Chains A and B, each alone.
Chain A
Amino acid sequence: MKIKILVFGQLSEIINASELALLAVNNTDEFNKKLFELYPKLNEIKFTMAVNKKIIHENTPLNHEDVVALLPPFSGG
């Protein structure tokens, strides 16, 4: 299954891919587990996750070609 991934802010220094081919990933919890295995530095940064532009707060099913976006908070003004 292919999941498109968009990253924002300082996350782009950790994840330099725009698409991940992940087998046996059915939902965002499984996706996160794989993602943190691939990019352990993600543990250092808080971010919000959106599936197909909708921000999620709990485990959400994923389908082929879904777009997952990761947005960290900024504080600059």
Chain B
Amino acid sequence: MSFTQNNDRYHRQIILKEFGETAQQKLLNAKVLVIGAGGLGCPALQYLTAAGVGTIGIIDFDVVTITNLHRQILFSVNDIGKQKAAIAAIKLAEINPEIQIQVYNFQLTNKNAIELFANYDLIIDGTDNFATRYLINDACVILNKPLVYGAVLRFEGQVGVFNLINNETKIKTNYRDLFPEPPNPLNALSCNEAGVIGVLPGIIGTMQATEAIKIITGIGNPLCNKIISYNALQNSFYDFEITPVLNPIETFPHNEMEFLNFNYEWFCSSKDNVSVISIIDFEELRINEKITIIDVRERNELPLVNQFDFISIPLNDLPNLLANIPTENKIVVFCKSGNRSLKAVKILNEKQPQLIAYSLTGGLDAWKQFENKN
């Protein structure tokens, strides 16, 4: 890609003496992959596109829902039900048609991550679940790619840079040095159930884009071996220095072969005694037996399901609506990704121990993938 001095688009950043034409050329030569076109991904994508990063990849398998619109600012009402990555690419091309945008409308897995990441210089994590966060981290460690991490919940956000060597100390850290083990999904909160203030991922996603620009151009001090925690209500920032785990628990893949065989869903699953059912077993059970299927997603969540009958009881309402659940059949509970359904089955086990209840592993995301394959 060529860049000419006559291009006024980048004038205001080129006149910065720390930046200049050299930094602009580095951005134009750079390839950045943004994982998740959600609350964090949207602002990161907008600023990286506007700044002139030459090649931007967007990977997201999800569709736009109305509950996304308060924070995922690339999308509008007309986009509801459409593929996020494809829509984001159209909107970004309107901002800056001079850059290359690659769209990946599929789910990131350990089977496709290495090949995909190898095409990029830097990875931005804007995902919404722990299994994918550990997967992204491990792939970046194996490929030695800098990873800009961001995460949000309620009014607080975290941002950091992993896998980037500090030239003075020669220390390099990653997500597993910060959180060596995933939390129990029965106790971890997601934005779907705990909420998030709309502007927060805007701030954290923009900070991720800032770090990416600093790393690519070599200006300033990136958040190397550091994580910042931001509290929007208190207007406070607190930084942590990440130190390497000296005696790591041997639960991470060390090379590509181990990575391909690592089960991230299992690694991040509950080790508590909650019964789960696989997609294949669920398909067999619902054909062969009369079962009660419960959707614990919020009432307006997509995708819609019309392939089987179910009753809708959002997780937060479940303790008050136990009487609505028939007691004569086995129960399968599902949600989007399989975490809220775990919590629901735990509640059912406590309140109605006579019921036989299973949580659908991987949730509707996994079920839809299975449907598409068959």
Using Cβ atoms and an 8 Å threshold, which residues of chain B touch A50?
A: 240-241
Contact of B239 among A10, A44, A53 (CB under 8 A): A53
Q: Report whether B128 and A76 are in contact in the complex, using a CB–CB cutoff of 8 Å.
A: yes
Q: Report whether A75 and B126 are in contact in the complex, using a CB–CB cutoff of 8 Å.
A: no
CB of B265 closer than 8 Å to a CB of A: no
A36-69 with Cβ < 8 A to chain B:
44-46, 48, 50, 53-58, 69
Contact of B152 among A45, A53, A77 (CB under 8 A): A77
The residue on B at minimum CB distance from A43 is B187
The residue on A at minimum CB distance from B225 is A55
Q: Report whether A6 and B241 are in contact in the complex, using a CB–CB cutoff of 8 Å.
A: no
CB of B153 closer than 8 Å to a CB of A: yes
Scoring B residues 117 to 142 as 1 if CB is less than 8 Å from chain A, else 0, what string do you get?
00000000111111001000000000
CB of B207 closer than 8 Å to a CB of A: no
CB of B266 closer than 8 Å to a CB of A: no
Q: Report whether B245 and A57 are in contact in the complex, using a CB–CB cutoff of 8 Å.
A: yes
B229-263 with Cβ < 8 A to chain A:
229, 231, 238-243, 245-246
Using Cβ atoms and an 8 Å threshold, which residues of chain A touch B127?
A: 75, 77
B90-142 with Cβ < 8 A to chain A:
125-130, 133
Using Cβ atoms and an 8 Å threshold, which residues of chain B touch A72?
A: 183
**Shortest Cβ gap from A7 to chain B (Å):** 11
Contact of A46 among B41, B184, B238, B242 (CB under 8 A): B184
Of the 9-residue stretches B3-11, B17-25, B188-196, B298-306, which lies at the interface with chain A? Answer: B188-196
Q: Report the interface size class on chain A.
A: 20 to 34
Q: How many interface residues does B have (CB within 8 Å)?
A: 47
Q: Report whether A74 and B241 are in contact in the complex, using a CB–CB cutoff of 8 Å.
A: no
Q: In the complex where A53-B241, A55-B240 touch, is A77 in contact with B150 (Cβ < 8 A)? A: yes
Q: Report whether A73 and B183 are in contact in the complex, using a CB–CB cutoff of 8 Å.
A: yes
Q: In the docked arrangement, what's the CA distance between A71 and B180, Å?
A: 13
Scoring B residues 252 to 284 as 1 if CB is less than 8 Å from chain A, else 0, what string do you get?
000000000000000000000000000000000
**Shortest Cβ gap from A68 to chain B (Å):** 12
B residues near A (Cβ < 8 Å) are 36, 38-41, 125-130, 133, 150-154, 156-158, 177-184, 187-191, 194, 196, 201, 227, 229, 231, 238-243, 245-246
Nearest 7 CB-CB pairings of A with B: A76-B191, A74-B151, A77-B128, A46-B183, A74-B153, A73-B179, A76-B152
Q: Show 14 residue pairs from A and B whose CB-CB distance is below 8 angstroms, ordered by the A residue.
A: A9-B154, A10-B194, A46-B184, A55-B177, A57-B245, A71-B229, A71-B240, A73-B183, A73-B188, A75-B130, A76-B194, A77-B39, A77-B127, A77-B152
